[in-house]
């Protein structure tokens, strides 16, 4: 059974940094496309960053230049390095994986999701 488990969230001041991790089991990260999304209560899940099988990356305009998505094939994990954090970045962050390696900014394109990790940025 494929399982994704996020960690690394927390409370940070504006301008600070956090590194989110997503441990993946039963699905080799080097063989699939993965992404980070975020969501606030009452709002739709929002795309943040994606990483294709071929290691190409794509970011939303709101995080471009501040966030970096990466993976570690040996650890079978996905990461999101977040710098220059803003209060607007406050959300629950989710990692997602595609069963067939489809890389997209749409949440519906992903088959597997973690439980989420809370990121709170104070002003």
Quote the CA–CA distance of 60 and 50 in Å, as a whole number: 9
> Residue 106, class by beta-carbon neighbours within 10 Å (0-12 exposed, 13-18 middle, 19+ buried)?
exposed
Looking at the DSSP bridge assignments, the partners of residue 51 are: 34, 57
Mind listing the pLDDT tens digit for each residue in 18-31?
A: 999 999 999 999 99
Looking at the DSSP bridge assignments, the partners of residue 7 are: 21
Is residue 80's pLDDT more than 90? yes
pLDDT of residue 99: 83
Quote the CA–CA distance of 37 and 28 in Å, as a whole number: 20
Quote the CA–CA distance of 86 and 32 in Å, as a whole number: 30
Q: Is 89 helix (H, G, I), strand (E, B) or coil?
A: helix
Lowest mean pLDDT among 71-75, 78-82, 101-105: 101-105
Tokens read off for 64: 């471009």
Quote the CA–CA distance of 112 and 96 in Å, as a whole number: 5
Mind listing the pLDDT tens digit for each residue in 100-120?
A: 878 899 999 999 999 999 999
């Amino acid at each position: 059974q494929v399982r994704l488990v996020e960690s690394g969230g927390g409370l940070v001041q504006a301008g600070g940094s956090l590194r989110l991790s997503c441990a993946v089991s039963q699905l080799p990260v080097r063989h699939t496309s993965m992404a980070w999304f975020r969501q606030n209560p009452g709002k739709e899940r929002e795309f943040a960053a994606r990483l294709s099988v071929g290691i190409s990356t794509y970011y939303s305009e709101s995080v471009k230049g501040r966030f970096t998505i990466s993976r570690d094939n040996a650890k079978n994990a996905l990461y999101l390095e977040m710098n220059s954090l803003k209060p607007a970045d406050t959300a629950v962050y989710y990692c997602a994986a595609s069963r067939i390696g489809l890389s997209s900014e749409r949440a519906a394109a992903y088959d597997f999701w973690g439980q989420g990790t809370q990121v709170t940025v104070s002003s």
